[in-house]
């Protein structure tokens, strides 16, 4: 991987299971500030993901290729192995980007940012407030709605909703989301 010591680069880590318009909004806004944004797709053993890590990486890459306003050469998508802070150190980046929605995000994000600062005080976590229209949008809600046959086209790019449809079109489900 490139050494970004002298570049204005940020790492945007997350599960992206799947990537939503909320994530894309944070990415676009980050690209107004940074020359390069590296999306680091996590794989946490405790989380049961819908899409495998490689699938999530590919879906984000395909999404970015589809969006004209995003200059693909300014974005890199990588599968994160191991500790985030080690990855950030390994490429000599200094900034981690995270998005903030409701107050409910705050505690978890504070814990994460504090832990990362303890591990390396030279690496700063920067938060961006969600765009109002995406403040209640999460990958979890997208998965649940599509599981129950709902329309998620206002929440995720077309290729993602197609992928979700393919995945969930097979069986009937007993769950109810109200």
Nearer to ligand ADP, 3 or 114 (CB): 114
Residues written for the chain: 178
Q: Whole-number minimum distance, CB 139 to ligand ADP, in Å?
A: 5
Burial of 26-51, coded b for 16+ CB within 10 Å and e otherwise, reads bbebbbeebebbbbbbbbeeeeebbb
Where do runs of H (alpha helix) occur along 42-121? 53-66, 84-90, 103-119
Q: Whole-number minimum distance, CB 100 to ligand ADP, in Å?
A: 6
Q: Whole-number minimum distance, CB 20 to ligand ADP, in Å?
A: 6
What is the helix (H) or strand (E) element at residue 139, kind and residue range? helix 139-147
Computed on alpha carbons and rounded to an integer, the radius of gyration of the chain in Å comes to 16
Q: Which residues are catalytic?
A: 23, 47, 101, 139
* Helix, strand or coil, per DSSP, at residue 76: strand
Nearer to ligand ADP, 48 or 171 (CB): 48
Pick from 133, 137, 142, 140: which is nearest to 161 by CA?
142
Question: Is the Cβ–Cβ distance between 135 and 102 less than 8 Å?
Answer: yes
Neighbours of 13 (CB within 10 A): 22
Nearer to ligand ADP, 50 or 137 (CB): 137
Nearer to ligand ADP, 42 or 119 (CB): 42
Q: Whole-number minimum distance, CB 96 to ligand ADP, in Å?
A: 9
- Contacts with ligand ADP, residue ranges (CB under 6 A): 14-16, 20, 22-23, 26, 42, 98-101, 105, 130, 134, 137-139
């Amino acid at each position: 991987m490139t050494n970004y010591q002298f570049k204005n680069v940020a790492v945007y880590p997350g599960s992206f299971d799947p990537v939503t318009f909320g994530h894309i909004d944070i990415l676009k806004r980050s690209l107004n500030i940074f020359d390069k944004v590296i999306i680091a797709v996590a794989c946490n053993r405790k989380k049961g993901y819908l899409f495998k890590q490689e699938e999530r990486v590919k879906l984000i890459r395909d999404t970015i290729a589809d969006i004209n306003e995003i200059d693909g050469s300014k974005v890199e998508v990588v599968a994160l192995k191991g500790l985030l802070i080690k990855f950030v150190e390994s490429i000599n980046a200094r900034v981690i980007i995270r998005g903030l929605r409701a107050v409910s995000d705050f505690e978890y994000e504070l814990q994460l940012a504090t832990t990362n600062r303890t591990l390396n005080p030279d690496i700063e976590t920067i938060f961006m407030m969600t765009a109002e229209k995406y403040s209640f949008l999460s990958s979890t809600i997208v998965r649940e709605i599509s599981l129950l046959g709902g329309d998620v086209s206002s929440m995720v790019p077309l290729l993602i909703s197609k992928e979700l449809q393919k995945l969930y079109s097979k069986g009937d489900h007993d769950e109810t989301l109200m």
